[in-house]
């Protein structure tokens, strides 16, 4: 569970670097771009990057699904030590559950954002953020 920052395998390292890169790309798009749609796309990319980061926390090389199936247990008595031994190769399911939730939330936010973009376009007839400034931006 505990990871040390500089003690990673190449694959894990690649996961972290990629997710940070995706987060930075998303931040760039959300903060620098002037078109509303591009900003929303940037937010979605940011979301994806963070989800990848969360998933890579639970990554295990050649990990198995965290299910104590009858084939795996093979009539072993389920003592605490046996459970520990069996669960060694298992992937941590919590980050995956978190990511599922985060994806749904991200979907909801994107939907609301896009509907607001439609409203803004109908109101101002433009998607350029510099031209929408009835309120002080």
Given the rule CB under 8 A, which residues bind another protein?
1-3, 23, 27, 30, 36, 39, 43, 46-47, 50, 53-54, 57, 92, 94-95, 98, 101-102, 105, 108-109, 112-113, 116-117, 119-120, 123, 132, 134-137
For 3-24, give the DSSP string.
Answer: --TT---HHHHHHHHHHHHHHH
Residue 63 to residue 57: CA distance in whole angstroms: 13
DSSP class of 135: S
Residue 31 to residue 47: CA distance in whole angstroms: 14
The nearer residue to another protein, 33 or 86, going by C-beta atoms, is 33
The nearer residue to another protein, 5 or 71, going by C-beta atoms, is 5
The nearer residue to another protein, 71 or 80, going by C-beta atoms, is 80
Quickly tell me which residue has 């760039």 as its tokens: 28
The nearer residue to another protein, 90 or 113, going by C-beta atoms, is 113
Contacts with 50 (C-beta within 8 Å, 6 or more apart), sequence order:
19, 23, 102
- In angstroms, give the least distance from the CB of 123 to another protein: 6
Closest CA to 59 of 47, 69, 51: 51
Token pair, residue 62, equals 């050649």
- In angstroms, give the least distance from the CB of 39 to another protein: 7
- In angstroms, give the least distance from the CB of 57 to another protein: 5
The nearer residue to another protein, 71 or 114, going by C-beta atoms, is 114
- In angstroms, give the least distance from the CB of 81 to another protein: 16
């Amino acid at each position: 569970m505990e990871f040390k920052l500089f003690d990673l395998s190449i694959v894990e390292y690649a996961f972290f670097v990629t997710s940070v890169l995706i987060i930075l790309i998303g931040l760039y798009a959300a903060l620098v771009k002037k078109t509303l749609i591009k900003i929303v796309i940037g937010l979605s990319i940011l979301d994806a990057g963070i989800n990848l980061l969360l998933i890579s926390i639970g990554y295990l090389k050649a990990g198995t699904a965290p299910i104590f199936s009858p084939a795996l247990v093979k009539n072993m008595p389920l003592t605490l030590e046996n459970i520990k031994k069996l669960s060694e190769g298992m992937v941590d399911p919590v980050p995956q559950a978190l990511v599922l939730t985060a994806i749904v939330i991200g979907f909801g936010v994107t939907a609301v954002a896009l509907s607001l973009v439609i409203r803004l376009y109908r109101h101002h007839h433009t998607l350029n953020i510099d031209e929408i400034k009835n309120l002080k931006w």
